[in-house]
Amino acid sequence: MAQGKPPVAVADGLTTRARRNRPLLVVHGGEGKGKSTAAFGLALRGWNQGWSTGVFQFVKSAKWRIGEQTALETLDRVHAETGQGGPIEWHKMGAGWSWSRKAGSEDDHAAAAREGWVEIKRRLAEQTHQLYVLDEFTYVMKWGWVDVDEVIETLANRPGHQHVVITGRGPAPRLVEIADLVTEMTKVKHPFDAGQKGQKGIEW
């Protein structure tokens, strides 16, 4: 567990309070497991702080509901009913975004991804959430489905106090450059290597 002691002093004129509260851009990359799982785990902390959290799943398989979605939506319901914690919205690209009334642009993933990004950009400008999880967004950037310059510019200059967590393999170098916290999940050993298959509760 981190001790909260910075190894270097920085002469940036910020008070400890200001520095402690700076919004973070977090990236979970690497070939190993845990990138998304750790991002959803952070949403638990945000919920406990009473933050508004928006999860955006940029994956085709998002038609498939993972356990975290049900659990986090349950915490959102607890918030709505009792006021404990904060609101959590879960949006996914798979069958058309939750906010969209269109039947879904399933055949055109690039268009669907762009639509997701446009909405996130709008929310960042309006400071809708305190925490954004952009799950598997590195691929959307890598495949050129969004304008990388625009993404970098938007994230780097987002207003207010908004944390953003981006997951996925191979984050763009410029994303790593503007990020505050970058962790790489490295595979040391995986049950698939031993012929084991994905299983409930572990993979979903």
Within 114-173, the residues that bind a copy of itself by CB under 8 A are 130-131, 136, 163
* Min CB(196)–a copy of itself separation in Å: 5
Closer Cβ to a copy of itself, 99 or 204, answer by number: 204
Considering the complex, state which of residue 32 and residue 104 has its C-beta at the smaller distance from a copy of itself.
Answer: 32
User: Rule CB under 8 A: is residue 176 a binding residue for a copy of itself?
Assistant: yes
Residue type, 193: D
Residues 6+ apart with CB under 8 A from 28: 34, 35, 36, 38, 39, 165, 166, 167, 168, 183, 185
Comparison of 102 and 197: residue with beta carbon closer to a copy of itself: 197
Distances (CA, A) of 135 to 35, 119, 132, 139: 9, 15, 9, 10
Residues near a copy of itself (CB under 8 A), total:
83
Q: Out of 38, 148, 152, 172, name the contact with a copy of itself by CB under 8 A.
A: 38
Nearest Cα to Cα of residue 29 among 38, 21, 16, 17: 38
Is residue 83 a contact point for a copy of itself (CB under 8 A)? no
The token pair at 58 is 């940029």
97-116 residues in contact with a copy of itself (CB under 8 A) are none
